[in-house]
Amino acid sequence: MVRVAEGIEQRRFTVEEYHRMAEAGILQPDERVELIRGVVRRMSPKNRAHVIAATKLHQQLARALAGRAAVFKEDPLKLVRLDSEPEPDIVATSSPHIDDYGTVVSKALLVVEVAESSLRYDLNVKASLYAEAGVPEYWVLDLVDRELVVFRSAHEGVYRQRATYEASDRVAPEAWPNVVLEVEKLFPEDERS
C-alpha cells in the first residue's frame, strides 16, 4: 500500500488483477483506461488531430519497417514488473512477426504517445515509466506546439537524452537509422472540420 498526501491508502493492482477486472465486467470493454504503476487511470479522449497524427505515424512506420519490425497502434504494452499496462499510440517492436507481440521474442524498441491535453503526463510520468521498463526510445508527438520530443538512452530508469525536433526537422529512430521521417508530415495538415 502507498500512502498519499491526505494519509489515505490506495489499493494498487497487478496486471493480472487488472485483466480479471475487465473479465469480470468491472471495467467495460469501451472504457478508455490503462494501468499505470498499479493505478487504473482514465485516458484522455482522442480528438480529430490525435486520430490523424497517430494514424499518419502508424502508416509511415508500418510502411518503412515492413519485414523488419511490427508496428502496433493503440494496443496494450504489458509491463508486469512495473504493475503497468499502458496503451501507447504506437509501438514498434524488434520482431516483424505480429504473433510475437507481448512475448520474450519481441521487444518494444520505439514507443510513441501523441499528446495534447496529456502532454505534461506523457513527458513526465510516461517517460519515467518507459525508461524504467527499458524501452530504448520514446517519442512524444506534441500537438500543442507541433514538435516531437525524443527520449533516448534509457539507463537505470531514466532517459539520458532528450531532444526536441521542430516541424521543419527530420528524425530517424535509433533502431532503424535509415527510416527518416519528416516531422511536419506527422501532424494534421490544417484545422479542417
List pLDDT tens digits, range 18-74: 999 999 999 988 899 999 999 999 998 889 999 999 999 999 999 999 999 999 999
In a domain, 122, yes or no: yes
In a domain, 36, yes or no: no
In a domain, 32, yes or no: no
The angle formed by the CA atoms of residues 24, 13 and 129, to the nearest 5 degrees, is: 125
Cβ-proximal residues to 99 (8 Å cutoff; 6+ apart), any chain: none
Torsion of Cα atoms, 77 then 10 then 131 then 161, to 10° = 130
How many whole angstroms separate alpha carbon 112 and alpha carbon 82? 19
In a domain, 143, yes or no: yes
Beta bridge mates, 40? 35
In a domain, 179, yes or no: yes
Count other Cβ atoms within 10 Å, centred on residue 150. Answer: 20
In a domain, 110, yes or no: yes
How many whole angstroms separate alpha carbon 188 and alpha carbon 50? 8
Task: Give the structural domain span for 159.
Answer: 45-186
pLDDT tens track for 96-137: 999 999 888 899 999 999 999 999 999 999 999 999 999 999
- CA 139 to centroid of chain Cα atoms: 8
User: Which phi and psi angles does 8 have, rounded to 5°?
Assistant: -90, 135
The total number of structural domains in the chain stands at 1
Q: Coil, strand, or helix at residue 131?
A: helix
In a domain, 65, yes or no: yes
CATH number at residue 176: 3.90.1570.10
